[in-house]
């Protein structure tokens, strides 16, 4: 028969093993989704946002080139940062800084459901989300997005959910 002290001692290893199994299963689930997720995202040489710092858009309100010196990988996606402080801020809440629609053009995702390249310096932060846009000399999709943003965002969310398997 266990006394209260012995019971706690006997339960502690079981509790630790149970927690370890939960952590390992979560890690395994994340590892399984990383390759699929990486195929969905707009990556250049394995790096998101063409190497631009995702935190810089929010903190500095402009596009800032990141450095491989301050890189980190989150769920299979590598991001580069302009500073260790920005990288550390990202690591506290990665989903708050990741670009919408896997870093593809938000306008194209809403208008046609297609993955279209972006100009990392053409962006908008709306409702706490980073949206990136295609922009060349004769075609800037940001103003097109802004003309019909609620409708395009709804469609982009639906199209991305299909692509991302959500």
User: Over the stretch 17-57, which tens digit does the pLDDT of each residue have?
Assistant: 444 333 333 333 333 348 888 899 999 999 999 999 999 99
Let me know if residue 108 belongs to a domain: yes
Q: Return d(Cα 6, Cα 115) in angstroms, integer.
A: 60
Kindly state whether residue 24 falls inside one of the protein's structural domains: no
How many CB atoms are closer than 10 A to CB 88?
13
* Whether residue 62 has pLDDT greater than 80: yes
Looking at 97, 128, 143, which one is the last position of a domain?
97
- The whole-model pTM stands at 0.79
Q: 105-159: per-residue pLDDT in tens?
A: 999 999 999 999 999 999 999 999 999 999 999 999 999 999 999 999 999 999 9
Distances (CA, A) of 31 to 75, 126, 129: 7, 30, 25
Total domains, the chain: 2
The verdict on residue 111 lying in a domain is yes
Q: How many helices (H) and strands (E) does the chain have?
A: 7, 6
Does residue 142 sit in the same domain as residue 110? yes
User: Strands (DSSP E) along the chain, which ranges?
Assistant: 43-44, 47-48, 67-74, 77-81, 119-126, 129-133
Are the C-beta atoms of residues 50 and 44 closer than 8 Å to each other?
yes
> Where does a domain end: 48, 78, 97?
97
């Amino acid at each position: 028969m266990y006394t209260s002290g012995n019971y706690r001692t006997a339960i502690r290893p079981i509790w630790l093993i149970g927690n370890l199994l939960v952590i390992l299963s979560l890690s395994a689930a994340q590892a399984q989704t990383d390759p699929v997720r990486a195929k969905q995202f707009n990556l250049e040489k394995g790096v998101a946002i063409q190497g631009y710092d995702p935190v810089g858009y929010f903190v500095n309100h402009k596009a800032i080139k990141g450095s491989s010196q301050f890189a980190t990988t989150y769920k299979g996606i590598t991001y580069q940062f302009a500073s260790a402080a920005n990288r550390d801020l990202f690591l506290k809440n990665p989903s708050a800084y990741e670009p919408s629609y896997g870093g593809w053009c938000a306008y194209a995702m809403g208008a046609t459901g297609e993955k279209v390249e972006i100009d990392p310096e053409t962006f908008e932060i709306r409702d706490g989300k980073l949206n990136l846009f295609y922009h060349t000399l004769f075609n800037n999709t940001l103003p097109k997005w802004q003309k019909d943003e609620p409708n395009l965002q709804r469609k982009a969310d639906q199209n991305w959910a299909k692509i991302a398997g959500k």
